[in-house]
């Protein structure tokens, strides 16, 4: 590939794993003369890193491609060529359809092909390319590490994918099809990447995986290592003061992992543990493989080990067969657990998943109304969680300038946004603050 400077624009949809992947795509193309731009109009290569989890997510991709057609024509009038690629889970699931429906697209490639990106771009300059295989080779050993400069530019917090894919097959979910089986990266590979991040000044790492607590990587001796033991290794890295992980399945919260919430001060007191529904009947037809009671037992055990931990979750309303009674079971579970935050979604039938074929699909109007009721309850709980922080002291990692002059913004251990009056020289520090007041979406604190 020619080394003439080229501009690359990546638009990222969906989850944090896609954010991580987009950075790795930039890292893969950097040695080939590409630099990232935030201005789509000046990009020689435009990549859409897509999400397929819900219907709206993939619709957005097709409407964006419609807009890109015009942009490409405008650039062509100025004598410039523009290559357009679609990556991520829509590419994986609907690659052929994208090629057929969107002639503007030159290149379609799935999440397991990112290490081949420079080669795919080269091929696509000659003919349209589609690559959605699950290759044998290890993507992560072939993807170049980010440069120190790139890591510094990305800030004080970083994502690190340790596991990909899912073997659980919840009946609503496309992930096992788009991301494939569970695969865990070896411990040493992850530790090396984390050390590189810490050396470039990163102070907080969030370990990522579609099913991150199902992590079972091999250590140098070939021994199977769970997420708890991996966290213990990462906590030894100098400069890495904060660790988090997401997203987890209740059945994979094993004792070793739960113990780290008690034993590792670096592991932040925040756990995202999706439950989806509070009705045993719905959990069964969702193929979640856990019950309402077993979920509650896990939460109670975690709270025993780490009192005060912030719990967050994911909920789906309107799954096929969900009656008002089932939905009320979800509300009562939320009341019982008490969430610091949560994400909630209206069920979206995904082609190829068992849920899409189920009888008793719930009317959109009913699902909308349930979603509103659920979100009102979560909003109330979130406000209560924030309110009980008033007057408390907590550590905040100051990350960037805040909204108002003289303010810096950062995150509390519980992942709340915090604004503090502080000198810009403190960016990058973890400071102790007292919570002075509570806004709708953030806390305001004073330095101690």
List contacts with ligand SF4 (CB under 6 A): 166, 168-170, 173, 175-176, 210-211, 249
CB of 278 to ligand 5AD, least distance (A): 13
Nearest distance, CB of residue 175 and ligand SF4, angstroms: 4
CB 90 within 8 A of CB 51: yes
Which one of ligand 5AD, ligand SF4, none is in contact with 168 (Cβ closer than 5 to 8 A by kind)?
A: ligand SF4
110 binds, among ligand 5AD, ligand SF4, none (CB under 5 to 8 A by kind): none
Taking the complex as a whole, how short is the minimal distance between the CB of residue 378 and ligand SF4, in angstroms?
Answer: 19
Report the candidate in 246, 30, 325, 279 with the shortest Cα–Cα distance to residue 149.
30
Provide φ and ψ at 401, rounded to 5°.
Answer: -60, 145
Three-point CA angle 123, 127, 133, nearest 5°: 60
The token pair that represents 172 in the structure block: 């609503």
Q: Would you tell me how many other CB atoms lie within 10 Å of the CB of residue 283?
A: 24
Q: Least separation, in Å, of the C-beta of 288 and ligand SF4?
A: 7
Residue number, 20 or 444, with CB nearest to ligand 5AD: 20
Sign of CA dihedral 124, 4, 26, 197: positive
Cis peptide leading into 247, omega within 30 of 0? yes
Q: Which does 10 bind (CB under 5 to 8 A by kind): ligand 5AD, ligand SF4, none?
A: none
Binding site for ligand 5AD (CB under 6 A): 53-54, 172-173, 274, 276, 314, 316, 345, 347-348, 350
| Binding-site partner at residue 347 among ligand SF4, ligand 5AD, none, CB < 5 to 8 Å by type | ligand 5AD
Asked if residue 335 lies in contact with residue 377, where contact means CB atoms within 8 angstroms, the answer is yes
DSSP bridge pairs for 403: none
CA–CA gap between residue 397 and residue 218 (Å, rounded): 32
d(CA 426, CA 204): 16
Q: Which is closer to ligand SF4, CB of 85 or CB of 176?
A: 176
Instruction: Look at residue 313 and give the partner it binds from ligand SF4, ligand 5AD, none, a contact being a CB closer than 5 to 8 Å depending on partner kind.
Output: none
Question: Given the complex with ligand 5AD, which of 276 and 412 has the nearer CB atom?
Answer: 276
The distance in angstroms from the start CA to the end CA of the chain is 54
Please choose which of ligand SF4, ligand 5AD, none residue 24 contacts, taking the beta carbon within 5 to 8 angstroms, the exact cut-off set by kind: none
CA distances from 134 to 210, 246, 256, 311 (A): 17, 24, 32, 35
Do residues 355 and 171 touch, judged by C-beta distance below 8 A? yes
Q: For the CB of residue 356, give the shortest distance to ligand SF4 in the complex, in Å.
A: 14
8 makes contact, choosing from ligand 5AD, ligand SF4, none, with CB < 5 to 8 Å by partner type, with none
Q: Which of residues 95 and 180 has its CB atom nearest to ligand SF4 in the complex? A: 180
Cβ distance to ligand 5AD smaller for residue 367 or 394: 367
249 or 272: whose CB is closer to ligand SF4? Answer: 249
CB of 250 to ligand 5AD, least distance (A): 12
DSSP-derived pairing of the beta strands 393-401 and 430-438: antiparallel
d(CA 269, CA 266): 9
The binder of 316, among ligand SF4, ligand 5AD, none, by C-beta within 5 to 8 A per type, is ligand 5AD
Closest contact distance (angstroms) between CB of 332 and ligand 5AD is 19
For ligand 5AD, the closer CB: 69 or 284: 284
Query: Is residue 411 within 8 Å of 417, Cβ to Cβ?
Result: yes
Indicate the SS3 state at residue 344: strand
- Smallest gap from residue 303 Cβ to ligand SF4 (A): 22
Nearest residue (CB) to ligand SF4, 164 versus 399: 164
Token digits of residue 323: 């009656």
Q: In the complex with ligand SF4, which residue's Cβ is closer, 75 or 281?
A: 281
Q: How far is the CB of 318 from ligand 5AD (least distance, A)?
A: 8
């Amino acid at each position: 590939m020619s080394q003439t400077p080229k501009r690359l624009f990546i638009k990222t949809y969906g989850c944090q794993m896609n954010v991580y992947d987009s950075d790795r795509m930039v890292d893969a193309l950097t040695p080939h003369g590409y630099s990232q731009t935030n201005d789509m109009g000046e990009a020689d290569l435009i990549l859409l890193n897509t999400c397929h989890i819900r219907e709206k997510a993939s619709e957005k991709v097709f409407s964006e491609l419609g807009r890109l057609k015009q942009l490409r024509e405008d650039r062509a009038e100025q004598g410039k060529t523009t290559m357009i690629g679609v990556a991520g889970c829509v590419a994986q699931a609907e690659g052929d359809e994208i090629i057929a429906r969107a002639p503007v697209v030159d290149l379609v490639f799935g999440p397991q092909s990112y290490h081949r990106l420079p080669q795919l771009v080269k091929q696509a300059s000659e003919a349209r390319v589609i690559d959605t295989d699950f290759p044998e080779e290890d993507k992560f050993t072939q993807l170049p590490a980010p440069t120190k400069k790139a890591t510094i530019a990305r800030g004080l917090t970083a994502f690190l994918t340790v596991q990909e894919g899912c073997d659980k097959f919840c009946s609503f979910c496309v992930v096992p099809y788009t991301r494939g089986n569970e695969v865990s990266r070896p411990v040493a590979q992850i530790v090396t990447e984390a050390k590189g991040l810490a050396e470039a000044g990163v102070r907080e790492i969030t370990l990522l995986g579609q099913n991150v607590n199902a992590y079972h990587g091999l250590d140098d001796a070939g021994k199977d290592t769970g997420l708890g033991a991996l966290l213990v290794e990462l906590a030894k890295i100098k400069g890495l003061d904060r660790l988090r992980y997401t997203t987890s399945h209740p059945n994979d919260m094993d004792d070793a992992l739960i113990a780290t919430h008690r034993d590792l001060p670096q592991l932040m007191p925040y756990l995202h543990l999706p439950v989806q529904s509070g009705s045993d009947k719905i959990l069964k037809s969702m193929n979640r493989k856990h019950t309402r009671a077993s979920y509650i037992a896990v939460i109670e055990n975690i709270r025993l080990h780490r009192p005060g931990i912030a719990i967050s979750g994911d909920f789906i309303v309107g799954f096929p067969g969900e009656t008002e009674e089932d939905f009320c079971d979800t509300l009562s579970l939320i009341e019982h657990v008490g969430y610091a935050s949560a994400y909630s979604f209206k069920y979206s039938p995904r082609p190829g998943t068992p849920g899409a074929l189920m009888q008793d699909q719930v009317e959109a109007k009913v699902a909308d109304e349930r979603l509103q009721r659920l979100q009102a309850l979560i909003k109330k709980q979130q406000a209560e969680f924030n309110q009980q922080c008033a007057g408390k002291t907590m550590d905040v990692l100051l990350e960037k300038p805040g909204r108002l002059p003289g303010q810096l913004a950062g995150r509390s251990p519980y992942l709340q946004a915090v604004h503090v009056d502080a000198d810009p020289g403190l960016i990058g520090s973890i400071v102790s603050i007292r919570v002075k007041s509570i806004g709708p979406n953030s806390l305001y604190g004073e330095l101690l």
